[in-house]
Structure 1
Amino acid sequence: MKKLTIATTQYGLTDIRTEEEFWTGIDMKVREAAEQGASMIVFPEYMTAHLLSLEPSMLHDEACYFLNGLTDKYIEFFRELSQECDIAILAGTHICLEGENKYSNKAFLFFSDGRVETQSKIHLTPEEQIRWPLVAGDELNVFDTEWGKMAILTCYDIEFPELARAAAVRGAELILCPSYTDNSFGYHRVRHCAQARAIENQLFVVLSGLVGSLSEDRPQVDMGFCQAGIFTPCDLPFEADGILQVGETNENRTVLAEIDFYMLRENRERGAVAPFFDRRPELYEHQKTLL
């Protein structure tokens, strides 16, 4: 069973002057992570919305149209960078067309062999439902990697225990959670739920997010609040607080940690508690009318 050195980002929303500056900044973060031994790097939700800062302020439907126009370049850029640096890249989420005049908030995970796994955000926030012309995803993608099975739950998705449990039942041992929260309330909702999902399903959760702010307001993305981290069950052989590694709050930086799936197997077999295995689905079946 392989170990995975993973990097997760607190991606800084700083003022940029050109589109090239945006792509160059990402290129540097990926290469730096690869040089430090990372085999995967996780960027946050709505990362490409940083490019909206180069344009006059837009309405949400205009912003979606603009970002969708970058989809081909986005895919080509990350596919080539992943192959060149021999690193898997969860390239945050990107707004792309999903049917007529509807868009998806979709995560893309690029592998160095050219494979791409995607996951549309399944639970849209009230703001995304009301103000954005977005459609929710309706399928959970649990996929194989050389390190084991994984799933991607984007930001608000991690706040729904049923979704993470479904991923775990299908064999996922690592959940990647790209997020965007613009204040401490939103961040702590996502953070505490990420740790809860790690505890109740006895798996790893990796959280990334946007930090910093832009000098000019943009109605879509203008400031972020995050402390990225890699989280574990709160049980042996892990630390009592369930934290493998976290960054410094709101600093533009990358956080690295080694994920040892053997330790997860040890936890599942010999931990003090076994919430994933001690669940009682036959009891819950009778409670469906309450859900």
Structure 2
Amino acid sequence: MTTSFRLAAAQYDIGFPGNWSAYESKIQLWIQQAADAGAEFLVFPEYFSMELASLFPEPVYKSLSGQLQAMQSLADDFVGLFAQQASINGLHILAGTFPLRLESGNYANRSWLFYPDGSRDYQDKLQMTRFEKEHWLISAGEEIKVINTKFGKIGVSICYDSEFPLIANAQVQAGADLILVPSCTDTLAGYHRVKIGCQARALENQCYVVQSPTVGNAPWSEAVDVNVGAAAVYTPVDYGFPDNGILAQGELNQTQWIYADIDPVMLATVRNTGQVFNYRDWSSQFRFFNTDS
């Protein structure tokens, strides 16, 4: 297992590519820029794939249900593009999320991780926001997963999932030192909810947490018309880490990559010799509660 590696988190602008060739070129440019900067692990945002709705006529991309149905025709191309880019560039790529129709007919908000060898794994979003449940009819995933990589085990907590402590803790207890949080928020308050959740998960689990948001305005889109956020890498707040727990952070609402060097060995050190033992003390907190009826 590699001890340290450079990670890149995208502040990804929702555009209007209009055709597959333009979309493919945009993705290739993003990935090439991160690879040229020495990144080995790339993280894209939640629902960044929704700009693909621009490949269909206006009545489709103006319809919340219509765009979901139409985008299924691009799912294989989307997977193929990121699998190819991961292989060509020798990268691990978390390709944000894509609303995928399952065999049941329900839609899942799926985040695929693509490996350099062409293989892939995924995590489905577990906690649905009101918009997803009430307007988009996206269904919740059923499994909290931990994904193996050469960099160690990782967890994926998609946007709203990051606001629920037990999800990330289950992933960390299963061995994850890195939690990836692709996000998509349309207000400053929404962005801060996810940001606060990410920082809290890093603090209480003494792990790295990475947020990657969509940014910019896309008035043509019924789904991702307003996007607010800043990418960041959060850490424990203890010896060897930044005093504010922020290893790297982008400029709010700007289109950019942010980069950080991730070192799991530092987590082991702080968990054993830190000022506090949040990770170790997690289970002991429950002794304060009487569960007898």
TM-score, L = length of structure 1: 0.95
Query: Counterpart in 1 of 2:34?
Result: 33
For the pair 1:146 / 2:161, whether they are aligned, the reply is no
Deviations 1:168-203 (A, max 9, x none): 111110001100001101000000110000000000
1:11 and 1:44 in contact (8 A); partners too: yes
Instruction: Specify which of 259, 277, 285 is matched with residue 280 of structure 2.
Output: 277
Secondary structure at 2:54 match in 1:
helix
Secondary structure at 2:269 match in 1:
helix
For 1:59 and 1:148, the matched residues in 2 are separated by 41
Query: Counterpart in 2 of 1:254?
Result: 257
Alpha-carbon RMSD: 1.6
Alignment of 1:39-118 (within 5 A): 39-55=40-56, 56=58, 57-118=61-122
Quote the offset at 1:16 in angstroms: 3.0
TM-score, L = length of structure 2: 0.94
1:101 and 1:133 in contact (8 A); partners too: no
- Does the C-alpha gap of structure 1 residues 282 and 196 become closer, same or farther in structure 2, counting only changes over 3 Å? closer
Quote the offset at 1:19 in angstroms: 2.8
Unaligned runs of 5+ in 1: none
Quote the offset at 1:281 in angstroms: 5.7
Q: Which amino acid aligns with 1:213?
A: N
Query: Counterpart in 2 of 1:263?
Result: 266
Secondary structure at 1:70 match in 2:
helix
For 2:202 and 2:236, the matched residues in 1 are separated by 5
Quote the offset at 1:133 in angstroms: 2.5
2:19 and 2:54 in contact (8 A); partners too: no
Query: Counterpart in 2 of 1:7?
Result: 8
Instruction: Specify which of 166, 174, 179 is matched with residue 170 of structure 2.
Output: 166
For the pair 1:195 / 2:199, whether they are aligned, the reply is yes
For 2:153 and 2:30, the matched residues in 1 are separated by 25
Quote the offset at 1:282 in angstroms: 5.0
Secondary structure at 1:267 match in 2:
helix
Unaligned runs of 5+ in 2: none
1:205 and 1:231 in contact (8 A); partners too: yes
Q: Which amino acid aligns with 1:166?
A: A
Instruction: Specify which of 231, 238, 252 is matched with residue 235 of structure 1.
Output: 238
For 1:240 and 1:5, the matched residues in 2 are separated by 21
For 2:247 and 2:81, the matched residues in 1 are separated by 31
